Structure 1
Amino acid sequence: MGKTRSKDEIKKLQCPNHIRNKTIRKNVVSQERREKKKLKKNERKKRKMAGEEPKIPRTIENTREKDDTILDPENEEDLERIEEMNLDINTDEYASYFQMDYEPKVLITYSDNPLQKTRTFGVELSRVIPNSVSLYRSRASIKKIVESAKQRGFTDVIVINEDRKQPSGLLLIHLPDGPTAYFRVSNVKTTNELKKSWKNITKHRPELILNNFSTRLGLTVARMLNGIFHYNPEFKGRRVVTFHNQRDYIFFRHHRYEFSSNAKPKLKELGPRFTLRLQSLQRGTFDSKYGEYEWIQTNRRHEIETSRRRFFL
């Protein structure tokens, strides 16, 4: 009689990892993948012939944990809280902006001795944001910059930080009384890196799209981002700026839309392109020592998250 094999030995023989020849092992793995794919395709075909509806895939978005600050206008229980939120909005620091009492004027500056990509990023932001100026910091502190900007009539200040020759942070300060938000910046692509020309960016005021900001914190961040753009876009330029929030990452895109002969719109990316992630939201203007934080993200994930399906914006 032959030797009886244990379950572990049988499982090991079925697994291609025991095959020492790399080429044979690769072919075996590829064949197994093709068979699994074919099996799934046949199962889908059987369900379709049986008239079964396709199942909704399980994703992080559709299994998101509900935030208490997400309000639904169709839910009667949330109507009172919606009224309170509207009262807060009508009396916050951006109420005068949405009442069109002033036009935004933005100062864009940098950390000390910025390198080429950071300088280019700031200049391109000044082309995207209407009525904005890019100036060097000249080793002045942020508090001095804020006071100087107030005297010159600026409504917002953007400070771009860098790390390892790359833009790494963006500090957004609303004047004169705040709030102040700090974002981590990643995946920065300038117009040159996208193989685009900055000459295609016209001086028309762009349209603005703010997508998927659903919580109370997300609404505050969206109002801050909205507040640096003019409230009256010039549709003639056909420029559109998008801030799309997905899993607390804010993706920035800048496009021009065109209409073809068959009336289908086409998008042409103008650049730049980057991603923001909120790190802190502070009341008032920037004060790292005595500032009061409305929200702050620590480096330790489990102190701020109960699970990976919880999002804050």
Structure 2
Amino acid sequence: APPKAVPKTIENQRVYDETTVDPNDEEVAFDEATDEFAPYFNRQTVPKILITTSDRPRGRTVRFCEQLSTVIPNSHVYYRRGLALKRIIPQCIARDFTDLIVINEDRKIPNGLVLSHLPEGPTAHFRMSSVRLRKEIKRKGKNVPEVILNNFTTRLGHSVGRMFASLFPHDPQFIGRQVATFHNQRDYIFFRFHRYIFKSEKKVGIQELGPRFTLKLRSLQKGTFDSKFGEYEWIHKRREMDTSRRKFHL
């Protein structure tokens, strides 16, 4: 019998992107050694994250921030009460924060996430959807989770993946059995937080702890947050970029 044909999917029919990262490329190695995340990967900095919101957040957004802080070790929630982001960033840098996360909301529902790497950027703006909260907030976990990054294959995707990785401390504590996954599929980034459950020596299950959400990159900006004069490395332009269902950017 002839071999079975591999089913065609949008993923395996993807249009080739010339910026696809080759781990053995000298230019990629140079970029990794000199980019804004190099101090983290060289273990010169310890992640310390400030999580804040748009002004006057509602209950669901507040709960989401509190639950996100249980996922990311050494993260602190601060409600800025009208203080401009441009004024918060120098204070964060002075207090040795390495990243700032801003959760935006619309009609009481979290709908956007801004991630700014400190002190020199970059800053990523994401649209956020499909937010599902944990039913209750258990005490803040002290274990460092394992971080899994799937399918960040282009130069842009590589930068975004390094951004997510640098939120979490090195050396996951496997005794806690916790896993944070950022899975990129067709430029949608699905976040899940699980715990391994060892049923026997041979059987392992997983339990979703939550929260869960989906991100879509809108822009990547050089430097820290600057809505007026920021220089953009990449910005999503739907009419120009979404011309093919098989063309992806991450």
| TM-score of Structure 1 vs Structure 2, range by shorter chain | over 0.9
Alignment partner, residue 304 of structure 1: 241
Question: Greater share of helix residues, 1 or 2?
Answer: 1
CA deviation after TM superposition for structure 1 residue 52, in Å: 3.0
Residue pair 1:200, 1:270 contacting (<8 A) in 2 also: no
Structure 1 residue runs of 4 or more that deviate by more than 6 Å after TM superposition? none
Alignment partner, residue 36 of structure 2: 93
CA deviation after TM superposition for structure 1 residue 93, in Å: 0.6
Q: 1:57 and 2:7 equivalent?
A: yes
The CA RMSD measured in Å over matched residues stands at 1.3
SS at match of 1:199: coil
Alignment partner, residue 16 of structure 2: 66
Sequence identity (%):
56
Question: Greater share of strand residues, 1 or 2?
Answer: 2
Q: 1:294 and 2:206 equivalent?
A: no
Alignment partner, residue 266 of structure 1: 205
Residue pair 1:155, 1:176 contacting (<8 A) in 2 also: yes
CA deviation after TM superposition for structure 1 residue 304, in Å: 1.7
Residue pair 1:104, 1:154 contacting (<8 A) in 2 also: yes
Summarize deviations over 1:195-251 as a string: whole Å, max 9, x none: xx4327632111100011000000000000011111121111010100000000000
Residue pair 1:241, 1:252 contacting (<8 A) in 2 also: yes
Q: TM-score, normalised by structure 2?
A: 0.96
Summarize deviations over 1:268-299 as a string: whole Å, max 9, x none: 0100010011000000001111110000013x
2:181 to 242, 249, 259: 242
Gaps of 5+ in 2: none
Aligned length: 250
Counterpart AA for 2:88:
I
Alignment partner, residue 96 of structure 2: 153
Residue pair 2:21, 2:28 contacting (<8 A) in 1 also: no
1:152 and 1:261 map into 2 onto residues whose CA distance is: 45
Alignment partner, residue 24 of structure 1: none
Counterpart AA for 1:69:
T
Alignment partner, residue 76 of structure 1: none
Q: Check 1:256–1:200 CA distance in 2 against 1; reply closer, same or farther (3 A cut).
A: farther
2:161 to 218, 222, 245: 222
Alignment partner, residue 167 of structure 1: 110
Alignment partner, residue 27 of structure 2: 84
Larger radius of gyration: 1
2:62 and 2:139 map into 1 onto residues whose CA distance is: 20
Q: TM-score, normalised by structure 1?
A: 0.77
Residue pair 2:50, 2:77 contacting (<8 A) in 1 also: yes
1:304 and 1:261 map into 2 onto residues whose CA distance is: 49
Summarize deviations over 1:138-170 as a string: whole Å, max 9, x none: 101111111111111111000000012110000
2:119 to 164, 171, 176: 176
Alignment partner, residue 151 of structure 2: 212
Alignment partner, residue 231 of structure 1: 170
1:254 and 1:200 map into 2 onto residues whose CA distance is: 15
CA deviation after TM superposition for structure 1 residue 55, in Å: 2.2
